[in-house]
Amino acid sequence: MAEMTRFGRALLHSKPAQVGEIVALFVVALVVIVLAMPLAGENPVASQGVVWVANILMLVMVWLGLRLRRQGWTHFGLSFGGASRRIVGRAVLRSVVVFVAAVAAFLVGAVVMANIVGIPEGADMSGYNYLSGNLPMLILALVGVYIVSSFGEEVVYRAFLINRIAELGGGGKTAWRVAVLISSVVFGFAHYGWGAMGIGQTGFMGLALGVSYLVVGRNLWVLILAHAYMDTILMVQMYFAGG
DSSP 8-state code for residue 5: P
Write out pLDDT tens, residues 207-220: 999 999 999 999 99
Which pLDDT score is estimated for 240? 87
Q: What is the mean pLDDT of residues 3-10?
A: 85
Write out pLDDT tens, residues 94-121: 999 999 999 999 999 999 999 988 876 6
Highest-confidence segment of 131-135, 204-208, 231-235: 204-208
Domain assignments of the chain as residue spans, ordered by start? 1-71, 83-240
The residue that leads in pLDDT, 44 or 183, is 183
Exposed/middle/buried for residue 136 (C-beta within 10 Å: 0-12, 13-18, 19+): exposed
The residue that leads in pLDDT, 36 or 122, is 36
Q: For residue 243, what pLDDT band results from cuts at 50, 70 and 90?
A: very low
Average pLDDT, the chain: 91
Which pLDDT score is estimated for 221? 96
Give the integer Cα–Cα distance in Å for 94 and 98: 6
pTM, entire model: 0.91
In residues, how long is the chain? 243
Q: What is the mean pLDDT of residues 50-59?
A: 94
Give the integer Cα–Cα distance in Å for 187 and 185: 5
